[in-house]
């Protein structure tokens, strides 16, 4: 047995997003069929707890919407570098005690960006720097959420269909190893959209950080864990 979270938009609470953990029998292995079994098990457990329907947000999703919302398919725009894969923007913007940001990672293949040895040998992570703006490590996930919400913001009218879902999952996300999660960012997007705060959120990094800081939005399960990779 293992526990995995679902992320529920909660626009009428200070948290904006609620994290609910469900216990499931885990099917080990990397084969897509195993991933789909785990998605089904998680969604069934959530439904028994009263949370349905859910959207799996990953390349393993059986719904096109969930696949399109996967961070592996999303790009963020940079005035200096053009359109950058979201994961490359995330990894290449890390600032460590001993180096960074490594903006050359903006133009490499996504998996190569995640595995660049400098990300492991440059010391403690101290910030993110993107477009000449330094993002703090607290509020936690604020930089990744900023990237993700800006990547899907141009499609906000099409994404009003996300309101039909009670919550979001990402079967690749392991809260024991990672902090940032695309399913959580989807739930945050829906909460902000419901509160008519999306335009305020993407106005500037300062505006986004201020908005998040004024709420109690916190990735609770990551509070005592080190900053990890984008995906579990």
Kindly list the distances between the CA atom of residue 27 and the CA atoms of 24, 35, 39, 183, 196, in Å, as whole numbers in the listed order: 9, 8, 10, 20, 40
Q: What tens digit of pLDDT does each residue of 82-96 get?
A: 999 999 999 999 999
Q: What residues contact residue 76 under an 8 Å CB cut-off, 6+ apart? A: 83, 84, 86, 89, 147, 150, 151
User: Is the per-residue pLDDT at 201 higher than 50?
Assistant: yes
Q: Give the pLDDT confidence score for residue 220 in this predicted structure.
A: 66
Indicate the helix (H) or strand (E) that contains 133: strand 133-135
Distance CA 98, CA 82 (A): 27
Three-state SS for 14?
coil
Q: What tens digit of pLDDT does each residue of 71-127 get?
A: 989 999 999 999 999 999 999 999 999 999 999 999 999 999 999 999 999 999 999
């Amino acid at each position: 047995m293992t526990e995995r979270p679902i992320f529920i938009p909660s626009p009428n609470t200070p948290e904006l997003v609620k994290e609910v953990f469900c216990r499931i029998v885990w099917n080990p292995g990397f084969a897509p069929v195993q991933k789909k079994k785990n998605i089904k098990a998680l969604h069934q457990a959530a439904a028994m707890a009263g949370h349905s329907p859910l959207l799996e947000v990953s390349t393993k999703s059986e719904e096109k919407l969930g696949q399109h919302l996967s961070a592996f398919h999303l790009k963020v725009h940079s005035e200096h570098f053009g359109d950058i894969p979201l994961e490359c923007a995330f990894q290449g913007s890390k600032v460590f005690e001993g180096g960074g940001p490594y903006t050359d990672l903006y133009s490499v293949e996504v998996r190569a960006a995640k595995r660049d040895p400098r990300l492991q040998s440059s010391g403690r992570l101290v910030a993110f720097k993107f477009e000449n703006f330094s993002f703090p490590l607290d509020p936690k996930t604020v930089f990744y959420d900023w990237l993700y919400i800006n990547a899907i913001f141009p499609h906000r009218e099409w994404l009003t269909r996300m309101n039909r879902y009670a919550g979001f999952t990402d079967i690749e996300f392991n809260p024991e190893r990672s902090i940032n999660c695309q399913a959580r960012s989807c739930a945050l997007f829906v909460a902000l959209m419901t509160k008519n705060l999306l335009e305020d959120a993407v106005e500037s990094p300062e505006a986004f950080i201020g908005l998040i800081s004024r709420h109690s939005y916190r990735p609770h399960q990551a509070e005592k864990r080190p900053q990890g990779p984008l995906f579990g």
